[in-house]
Amino acid sequence: MIDYIAAAVGIVIVFIGGVFIFGGMLTNGVANLEQKNSIMQAQSLFDYILLTPGYPSNWGSNSSLTAPKAFGLANAQATQPYTLSQADVMRLLVSSSQFQKNAIQIGGKTYLNLTEGLFSILVPVGKTINYTYVKKVLGIYGSYEFYLSLTPALNVSVHPVSTSQGVKFSVKVTNFFGAPLPLATLTGSLIYLSQTSQGGCPNKNGANCPSLIYYSTATATTNLSGVGILSFNTQVQPQSYALIVQASSSNLIGYGYYSSVTPSHLEAYALLQPGSDNVTLMQHCAVVTTASCGVDYFNVSNLIQNNSGGFSIINLTCTRYWINGGKGVGNVHSNSTCSGLLYNGFLLVSIKQTGNGQQSNTILEIFPLNVAFANLFVNFGLNPVSTHAISVTTLTRVVVISGVSYIATFAYWPDQAQAYGGLS
């Protein structure tokens, strides 16, 4: 009888142990299934954002549209997948908190000063995209959080090399992870000013005509350290030149720049209006009200890529070819609006200051016309690091913005406690 009881107890113990083991397996199986489902959802949502243009398809450049009814970043006119609309990306850029601290007031309106290294670009506030709203139109509000970042695939750093004959630049190319890239192809375009007028002064300012804008090109290949030297025979003057470098490696394209004029020495700022063919030049005194002002005379051109891989310079038509900030106090001449076919490229401004004891040589200012050419980083959403998120799925894709290669990174995780990221 005792043997039967012992056997029965043993069976019960084995059964209970089996239940615990099976329960653990079931729990792990459910967790693995949830993780796989989360990964599949993240992949689907990430591709949806990168492969669809949203609705309407021109929401990024539509100046009258506050927010899209469907959220997507794809360029509706692109023939290749993972090609993003630079106008959509610009809307994300001005919505990110990294530039909100740079808000300034001009003429009763608020603008964001997108100052990164060499450039200072002003864009109007009011076209920001709300992160919480985006989650709602994506159908994940209250369930998941996400974080989207766009980072240049190539880092191209440019430094001048002193020389008595012409001008040389040392260019270093590294990849997304910072490793040097040997055998990268470099194409440099030296933009410079010349006092020699060919065909007269395009801005009709006569004796006050600034120097005209020209460019020349050179090529090189990087060595094992990822460094190449671009050499030009052109003689340049201080603050009168800039270099644009295109680097290509393994089908990736990146840009680097050097400007002899820093943002703190700009005579004018470029005000870009999303969706418009116009650009407004505003005298620095209208922004920095403590600065001394004279009258700035200028030429302005659009530098665009042509079909042969080089650049073409197109002069723009402006409402006037001089600006006088008057320290920004009720002076309607503090800015000038220029129009033309503003293709993806750069705005070039040849400008000199006269009068009010502010005589200066002509300087060259350069402004990129979109996010990609400015090498700007875009971050949108809720950073998982700052929220100590768990079970984060992270995905990456190579995308193209205006011909420039970017790395898109997408983090996706369950909403643990109604966290509202971005600009709520």
Closest CA to 349 of 212, 188, 237, 236: 212
Q: How confident is residue 100, by pLDDT bands cut at 50, 70 and 90?
A: low
pLDDT at 307 over 70: no
Q: Give the pLDDT confidence score for residue 46 in this predicted structure.
A: 97
Distance CA 284, CA 266 (A): 7
Q: Which residue has the higher pLDDT, 158 or 266?
A: 158
Task: For residues 57-82, give the mean pLDDT.
Answer: 89
Per residue, what are the HEC states of 305-359? Answer: ECCCCCEEEEECEECCCEECCHHHCCCHHHEEEEECCCCCEEEEEEEEEECCCCC
Residue 314 backbone phi and psi in degrees, to 5: -120, 125
Tokens of 393: 């799925």
pLDDT in tens, 222-245: 999 999 999 999 888 888 899 999
pLDDT at 26 over 60: no
Distance CA 402, CA 342 (A): 13
pLDDT at 150 over 50: yes
Neighbours of 58 (CB within 10 A): 17
Distance CA 378, CA 385 (A): 17
Fill in the amino acid letter for 392: V
Q: Lowest mean pLDDT: which of 141-155, 162-176, 184-198, 380-394?
A: 184-198
Domain limits, the chain? 52-424
Per residue, what are the HEC states of 205-245? Answer: CHHHCCCEEEEEEEEEECCCCCEEEEEECCCCCCCCEEEEE
Tokens of 119: 């450039």
Q: Which of 4-18, 58-72, 331-345 has the highest mean pLDDT?
A: 58-72
pLDDT at 275 over 70: no
Tell me the pTM. 0.82
pLDDT in tens, 343-377: 568 888 888 877 655 556 788 888 887 778 878 88
How many Cα atoms within 13 Å fall on the side-chain side of residue 46? 25
